[in-house]
Chain A
Amino acid sequence: MDHLVSGLMLAPRTFKLAATGTAAGLFSGLFGVGGGTVIVPLLVLWLGYGVREATGTSLAAIVVIAAIATLAQGAYGNVVVSKGLLVGVPAVGGALFGTWFQQRVRTETIGLLFAILLVAVAIDLVVS
């Protein structure tokens, strides 16, 4: 077990990155949770990213993931474009405020808020 743990800690960066991406996709395919709840903690706790870099890079990855997933779901006719835009357009303003605000918050506080989000997602997962 110790070997496994230290081996994982010393794994080459590219391997860690690949494992993180695959795990994020796997869990979102399995449970429908977004990739960010998997990507951000792994980047911070395993790859040694700063919290701001982890959240920023996670958002870039999510653009790719959501675009591909939307195409796939769209093919099944499950995407209701008008309602998606009704919540998505105001959310763009929210995201710009959120990233702006994030630059003014201590990284540990962002981590604390992320912990609260994880608890909420865990509860949502068990209740649903």
Chain B
Amino acid sequence: MIAAIVMGAAAGVVSGLLGVGGGILFVPALTLVLSLSQVKAEATSLLAIIPVALAGAAQQYRYGNVRVRDGAVLGALSALGVLAGVALANVLPDRDLKLGFAALMLVTAAQFFRRWLRTRKASADRPVEPRARGE
């Protein structure tokens, strides 16, 4: 019970900080701690994500970080994409696709890592740290 609450809170922090749903922590909390099956855990994590994303989005809106129209377009088209994805999942070779997508994620991760390295070098050349806020 306490472990589930702690993992839930941690999922929320990841969600708010990184702009994701937090399913990567919700699903293991629901399977390992609350002993749901994988299928039910994935479905139930979607329910948990609604209030979390809503709270995070509302607070980001107050900070001026939400482009509402873009978010609505992304959300509506994603919903359509999900249907196509579920249909495709039944006909495409699962393993190869997963490996390909995982590789794509690693390439993307490398991009963010390079950006971080670049600014680290840049700020090392400057005597004073720039302010945290402001891009």
Contact flag A81-B61 (CB < 8 Å), given A87-B11, A91-B11: no
CB-CB under 8 A from B63, the residues of chain A are 52, 56, 99, 103
- Counting chain B residues whose Cβ lies within 8 A of the other chain, the interface size class is 35 or more
CB pair B43 A78 closer than 8 Å: yes
Could you tell me the distance between the alpha carbons of A17 and B68 in the complex, rounded to whole angstroms? 13
User: What CA separation (Å) do A37 and B15 show in the bound complex?
Assistant: 11
DSSP majority for the B interface? helix
- Contacts A24-B78, A31-B98, A95-B53 aside, 20 further interface pairs with beta carbons under 8 A come to A22-B80, A25-B82, A28-B81, A29-B82, A34-B20, A55-B17, A57-B66, A59-B71, A60-B66, A80-B40, A81-B47, A87-B11, A93-B12, A98-B17, A99-B16, A101-B13, A108-B115, A113-B18, A118-B109, A119-B106
Q: What is the bound-complex CA distance between A88 and B20, given in angstroms?
A: 14
Which residue numbers of B lie inside 8 Å of A, CB to CB?
Answer: 1, 4-24, 26, 29-30, 34, 36, 39-40, 42-57, 59-61, 63, 65-68, 70-89, 92, 97-99, 101-103, 105-106, 108-113, 115-116, 118-120, 132-133, 135
Interface residues of A (CB under 8 A from B): 14, 17-18, 20-37, 39-41, 44-45, 50-70, 73-74, 76, 78-81, 83-126
Whether B13 pairs with A64 at a CB distance below 8 angstroms is no
Contact across chains for A84 and B75 when beta carbons are under 8 A apart: no
Given known A40-B18, A57-B66, A84-B47, contact A114–B112 (CB-CB < 8 A): yes
